[in-house]
Structure 1
Amino acid sequence: MSTEPRKILIVGGVAAGMKSASRLRRLDPKAQITVVERGIHLSYGACALPYVISEEIEDLDEVRQTANGTVRDEAFFSMVKDVEVLTRCEAVRIDREKQELEVHFLDDDRYQSMSYDVLVLATGSRPLVPPFPGRDLAGVCALKNMDDAASIAKLVEPGARAVIVGGGLIGLEMAEALGSRGMDVTLLEMQEQVLFGILDSDMAEHIHRVLRNAGIKLHLGEALQTISGQNDQVQKVTTTIGSYPADLVILALGAKPNIELAQEAGLNIGPSGAIAVNQQMQTSDPNIWAAGDCVESYHLLNHQPLHLPLGSTANKHGRIVADAICGRPAHFPGILGTLLVKVFGLNVGRTGLSPEKAAQSGFDPVSIFAPSPDRVHSMRGAKPILTRLTIDRESRKLLGAQIVGPGEVAKRIDVVATALSFGADIDQLAQVDLGYAPPFSAAMDPLHQAANALRNKLDGLADSLSPLKLKQRLDLGEDLLLLDVRSPAEHAEVRMAGATLLPLGKLRAKVAELPKDKLIVPFCKISLRGYEAVRILHAAGFEKVAYLEGGLLGWPYELERGAPEVPITN
């Protein structure tokens, strides 16, 4: 048995690569560990870059510093980790038979072959930039690395015109970052909503409203056609619908895994277009592992392959790779697609499957949409959140959650992600022993309230309609009765067009005057009284009744304000 130290080569020096290197050193003090990195910056938090541009993070270097302020550079990894890092060094070819990696030293145009016992590919991803005319003009940028952030920051100027192409996570974060710096921001999205494929359309409507209220010029359903300029400087963006002046263009169209090195070496590529690995992060070559944004993941609930680049996943991958290489029992089970984003004070979270995706995956989804304050409502600083829970009808297993609102969203998303990871059902979520104190939560947490509302729906105690489902019925001209069971004072302040006001306290006395041949949709501010109205109507023999989930607080569409012009039942 050889006593020579293992030669471990790692391609990529950001999240997954440096996590692997650091963990490997702790587990194997004698290994010869070398990291090859094409750029000059190491082990930085790319997800923090929009907050550098917004100046919430004061110094760009902070994204690559330890908690005590030490910069994670070549010297740091050499002295602290005993890891050799070769920056400005590009991996160009893998010879799997010889177990050699050919590299190109960019500064002196020198090529060299490096032997390995173990090779780790952490090649990451790159911004998706289709071949639009004008994409190479000055002022047209994508945001992926520290150099991109530095370039964009130089172009930020109050009053200057920025056009962001893409309404995904980075597009939304950049809209806030540039808007907060006083720029005139236009956000273009080819779909009819932002966060398409991430949030349901009625949940996304809340983001649309916040963006517009913040002064962002939001254009949905517009696909980019060309970018044009003069003297090599961008001046205009043209879509399928219109043209918009631009001093700065941010392309935020998604990410593409860097698989070329693996593909040319004959490694298996998965159906998502990323490198295929097993649960130990091992590729189709037993001597080569892969981790991070270049790797394909599997969804824990429907077991479908997907590519979802996230720094959190990359760091988990890096640790698994090191453990597997060193023979420790470790495996990566998959992901839930848990995402968080902040948009002008609106917190947005998603985990698991949407109702649509759940149905496509063979489940029979049932959902509820429930608003609640994020803590005891009488506490100063209490803010609302809107929660959508989705379960499977037969098994009652949790399938996913979407939560939006100015209140505390992240901890609720994390609770649901934890519950999903352990296969919890809706009844278990309703009884989970969550922390309670008025500054943090109500006695019944928003998740408890949403879970109980969904149990009521599932058990036949009350049917309900989501805002989207009701909007679709109204748009089709369905003859139904919108029943506003709030007080006259609430109704005078804000209301839904065409609704009939009948306060809950008068409902029992007036129930005989209501029609039984059409669907009645009771609602109030959050539809707690709407649910009570359903129970009263059921007891009176009404069968066609379904309350509006979320009430007016959760209704993302247009509302009337001022003097009422709708029927009032006295």
Structure 2
Amino acid sequence: MKVIIIGCTHAGTAAAINTSKLYKDAKITVYERNDTISFLSCGIALYVGGVIKDVKGLFYSSPEHLKSLGVDTKMQHEVLDVDFDKKEVSVKDLKTGKEFTDSYDKLIITTGSWPILPKIEGFNLKNILLSKNYYHANDIIEKVKEVQNVVVVGAGYIGVELVEAFREKGKNVTLIDTQERILSKYLDKEFTDIAEEELKKHDINLALSQTVVRFEGEDGKVKRVITDKGEYDADVVIVCVGFKPSTEMFKGKLNMLSNGAIIVDEYMRTSREDVFAAGDCAAVWYNPTKSYEYIPLATNAVRMGTLAARNLVDRSIKWRGTQGTSGIKIYDYNIASTGLIEEVAKQKGLNIQSVTIEDNYRPEFMPTYEKAKLKVVYESDTGRILGSQILSKHDLTPLMNTMSVFIQNGMTIEDLAFTDFFFQPHFNKPWNLLNIAGLNAI
């Protein structure tokens, strides 16, 4: 069995490793256009901020590792086209310029995603940077060293983590976003209000509800960011407004969402026989809405890559769907969410209710304790849980993993009220915070 894998970040690496373990007779070839694989881009802010000293720690595999597993890893090779009828790929060796074709029995597409590049005047000025891969991380560190004014465009997870890292380095930092709140896809207002206040306390300038209209420069380098409401000095600009699937070559050939994310079934199979897709290039089944969505997360990618490998020959293990569970640390606050927030649920026209509680996470007779804010969103008629959020200075983010299980299994707010959780004063109260939210709701 000849297996070709296109792309080798999270999903591709998982697919290659698992394919090599499961099918000892398989001839596995990976085509990767870069010269690195398996880079954890979620660690860029930690690297920029100096928390991670050695960037090598952000790589969890290598071409040498894959080679030791019997995988023929061809770095700096770009797949130019795929002929699904002939089961052939057209490839270019970027080092030599040579082009050739290769055939497959099974194809796994893991081409990933790329930052959205907004069409803004002056975008081609120097020191306007992206934040996605290893080279971007090094570029950011190098360019920021000798400057003082840094502007980040995009207040998602990457943007928020970067502004904190830059501020810790003593830079003057501005965060711009068209939305009126930071992290507006992941948290409701009562949570982002706290996070925004924390950023402001650390002298980070928030320029929200503003759209960048142009970048201005001097001597070919960016010097100012002009929005529809103001202007901001900028020696370096990081643009991180979101990602799009890298699937241009497959348009019109595979079933996709409108943004180009490849639709796969529960076994990671695309609309063409013997062709699988996984990771940021693919759509995912989103359990809260029971629909296909685009949610580019490393956690989704490694699961999908693993399942693509396991289902190459037989339909063995189904994809359970995702809740988009994620977390972030903003200074002293530990924050996480899973599933739908209330605002998004209402935008989708869902009939929902929510319950929010504030309580200390463990008994007040303990030497120390911290307040926690927890919210649960659920369907009005069925009680089915759709989403949850938590914020505390104590790390309670694992509770969102528990809530993810509730959503994945279609459990209700009543289930939440009476699920058996342990009690021990070091860790919690007789009624767990999750129980309390359920009890308050019913």
Normalised to the residue count of structure 2, the TM-score between the two structures is 0.96
Instruction: Give the Cα separation in 1 of the matches to 2:144 and 2:431.
Output: 45
Count of matched residue pairs? 442
Gaps spanning 5+ residues in structure 1: where? Answer: 1-5, 66-71, 456-570
Match of 1:49 in 2: 44
Match of 1:512 in 2: none
Match of 1:427 in 2: 414
Contact between 1:374 and 1:408, CA under 8 Å: does it hold in 2?
no
1:85 alignment partner AA: T
Deviations 1:197-237 (A, max 9, x none): 32222321111111101110011111011112122211111
Match of 2:109 in 1: 121
For the pair 1:221 / 2:185, whether they are aligned, the reply is: no
- How big is the shift at 1:177? 1.4
- How big is the shift at 1:289? 0.6
Instruction: Give the Cα separation in 2 of the matches to 1:52 and 1:21.
Output: 27
Deviations 1:287-312 (A, max 9, x none): 21110000011221222221110000
For the pair 1:182 / 2:182, whether they are aligned, the reply is: no
Instruction: Give the Cα separation in 2 of the matches to 1:377 and 1:411.
Output: 22
Instruction: Give the Cα separation in 2 of the matches to 1:375 and 1:145.
Output: 41
- How big is the shift at 1:391? 1.9
1:161 alignment partner AA: N
The structure whose Rg is larger is 1
RMSD of aligned alpha carbons:
1.7
Contact between 2:245 and 2:259, CA under 8 Å: does it hold in 1?
no
Contact between 1:383 and 1:406, CA under 8 Å: does it hold in 2?
yes
Instruction: Give the Cα separation in 1 of the matches to 2:406 and 2:151.
Output: 40
Match of 1:147 in 2: 135
SS across alignment from 2:73: strand
Deviations 1:332-381 (A, max 9, x none): 13211212111122222121222344345564312121112233334345
Contact between 1:292 and 1:313, CA under 8 Å: does it hold in 2?
yes
Alignment of 1:513-528 (within 5 A): none
Is the alpha carbon distance of 1:120 and 1:377 closer, same or farther for their aligned partners in structure 2, counting shifts above 3 Å?
same
Alignment of 1:143-292 (within 5 A): 143-157=131-145, 160-263=148-251, 266-292=253-279
Alignment of 1:343-354 (within 5 A): 343-354=330-341
Mean Cα deviation higher: 266-275 or 364-373: 266-275
Instruction: Give the Cα separation in 2 of the matches to 1:409 and 1:226.
Output: 41
Contact between 1:164 and 1:252, CA under 8 Å: does it hold in 2?
yes
Match of 1:85 in 2: 73
Match of 1:495 in 2: none
SS across alignment from 1:107: coil
For the pair 1:330 / 2:317, whether they are aligned, the reply is: yes
Contact between 2:355 and 2:440, CA under 8 Å: does it hold in 1?
yes
Gaps spanning 5+ residues in structure 2: where? Answer: none
Identity value in percent: 28
For the pair 1:401 / 2:388, whether they are aligned, the reply is: yes
Match of 2:2 in 1: 7
Instruction: Give the Cα separation in 2 of the matches to 1:316 and 1:77.
Output: 18
1:258 alignment partner AA: S
2:241 alignment partner AA: L
1:114 alignment partner AA: D
Is the alpha carbon distance of 1:229 and 1:362 closer, same or farther for their aligned partners in structure 2, counting shifts above 3 Å?
closer
- Structure with more contact order per residue of length (Cα contacts < 8 Å, sep ≥ 6): 2
1:352 alignment partner AA: G
Deviations 1:500-541 (A, max 9, x none): xxxxxxxxxxxxxxxxxxxxxxxxxxxxxxxxxxxxxxxxxx
Match of 1:64 in 2: 59
Instruction: Give the Cα separation in 1 of the matches to 2:65 and 2:401.
Output: 33
Match of 1:299 in 2: 286
Is the alpha carbon distance of 1:357 and 1:192 closer, same or farther for their aligned partners in structure 2, counting shifts above 3 Å?
closer
Instruction: Give the Cα separation in 1 of the matches to 2:144 and 2:157.
Output: 20
Is the alpha carbon distance of 1:165 and 1:361 closer, same or farther for their aligned partners in structure 2, counting shifts above 3 Å?
closer
Instruction: Give the Cα separation in 2 of the matches to 1:246 and 1:363.
Output: 42
Instruction: Give the Cα separation in 2 of the matches to 1:257 and 1:189.
Output: 22
Moved over 6 A (4+): none
Match of 1:417 in 2: 404
